[in-house]
Amino acid sequence: MIAIVPSNLPLIAEYYRTYSTDNSWPGDLVFEPSKVVSIPVPSFEELVRAIGRYAVDRNEKVFLIVSHGNGDELIMPIVTGSKFPADHNILDQLVAYVGGSDRFNDSLLSNQWEVDGRKVRAFADAKQLDRLADAIRKVQGANIEQVHFRACNVGSGPVLASLANVFGSKHTSGPNSWYLFYWRATATMPAKGEVTNFADRVSNMALPRRVYTRTECLLPFDPNQSGEDPALAISTSTDGQGKPNIALLDAVSQAAVEGWTRVFLEDSQYYAFGRKAPGNGYQRGHKLVVFGIANQGDSTNPVLFPGDGIKFLQKLEVVNRP
């Protein structure tokens, strides 16, 4: 299993190396840190080539891909130097071209592709088109089992099916909502003891927000506290374009953060057997990086994480192929 993260998103690579897991409809995705690869991805062609290297040369069959996107496209040039993105229209034509059809030869090489109201070429020439076609054939011949996209909203439109056809993957998934990223230092949180009046701090956090209990954060029994008392909380905000973001994460202690990450960010099945997940998880007092899916419309649960189980999975659209 390989996770490919563009090198301009280093904290996302750190997230997957630390927590070693994600959730999917086929089951838990568990990564060795060494298999979370951070590489330049200047174009869709380079993404295809990277997948081909691991699928063919190392016989990897399951991939997780981090990118920017929306329901119509992955937000990256179709080839390096092109001004046209990897949108569903050009991907569908490429699939036909790779399969031997000459129906779209003229279209693929035309200067009539439109970007922001301007007509552009997607490919400089036939040589550039054929180079990408060859890379796609290589990937399609590798019999990839699963490709999981972690790219905003790619499951909300036609591009997910187009990507499934390009890669020839039997199971392809992508979110139908925004992906939210956040990080903060935790050294300022109590290493011993707890923040006083934490419930008051939580009540002052902006809405929408989600409050996690002491029980959910795996804090030990305390006769002076209820298991339903707040231990960690997350609030979100929305920018001018309507995109949600995690505005604040606060916790009663570093121990609460550790317990919360085990339940919601990691594959916590390891801990029942006295072992840690491959990436060793959150270390108290260290940087906390989180990556979740927006759950807009629910003011008490505005962001979902792998540990949320079925609610998280319901934010992942799926294309299955024989």
**The pLDDT of residue 280:** 87
C-alpha angle with apex 241: 239 to 246, nearest 5 degrees? Answer: 30
Q: Distance between CA atoms of 37 and 233, rounded to whole angstroms?
A: 31
175 is written with which tokens? 């979110």
Closest to 173 measured CA to CA, from 186, 158, 160: 160
Q: Label residue 236 by pLDDT band (50, 70, 90).
A: very high
Selected residue with higher pLDDT from 198 and 270: 198
pLDDT exceeds cutoff 80 at 268: no
Q: Are 7 and 38 in contact (CB under 8 A)?
A: yes
Coil, helix or strand at residue 50: helix
Which band of pLDDT confidence, cut at 50, 70 and 90, is reported for residue 31?
A: confident
Q: What percent of the chain has pLDDT over 90?
A: 93
Residue 148 has pLDDT above 70, yes or no: yes
Q: What is the mean pLDDT of the chain?
A: 94
Phi and psi, residue 136, nearest 5°: -65, -40
Residue-level pLDDT at 248: 97
pLDDT tier, 270 (very low <50, low <70, confident <90, very high otherwise): low
Look at the pTM and tell me if it is higher than 0.85. yes
Q: 129 vs 41, 136, 164, CA distance in Å?
A: 18, 11, 20
Q: Could you tell me whether strands 146-150 and 62-66 are parallel, antiparallel, or unpaired per DSSP bridges?
A: parallel
Q: Give the pLDDT confidence score for residue 138 in this predicted structure.
A: 96
pLDDT at 87 over 70: yes
Q: Cβ(209)–Cβ(145) under 8 Å?
A: no
- Per-residue pLDDT tens for 159-194? 999 999 999 999 999 999 999 999 999 999 999 999
Q: What is the pLDDT of residue 279?
A: 87
pLDDT value of residue 278:
83
Confidence tier at 266 by pLDDT (50, 70, 90): confident
Residue 38 pLDDT greater than 90, yes or no: yes
Per-residue pLDDT, averaged over 297-307, amounts to 95
Residue ranges of alpha helices (H) inside the chain are 10-19, 44-52, 88-98, 105-108, 126-140, 159-167, 198-203, 254-264, 310-313
When mean pLDDT is compared across 51-60, 183-192, 247-256, 276-285, the lowest value belongs to: 276-285
The domain ranges of the chain are: 2-176, 180-307
Return the pLDDT at 261.
95
Question: SS3 for 112?
Answer: coil
Question: What is the pLDDT at residue 272?
Answer: 61
Backbone angles phi, psi at 12, to 5 degrees: -70, -40
For residues 276 and 270, give the distance between their C-alpha atoms in angstroms, rounded to a whole number: 6
Helix (H, G, I), strand (E, B) or coil at 269: helix
Confidence band (pLDDT; 50, 70, 90) for 241? Answer: confident
pLDDT of residue 269: 63
Burial class (CB in 10 A: 0-12, 13-18, 19+), 102: exposed
pLDDT tens digits, 59-73? 999 999 999 999 999
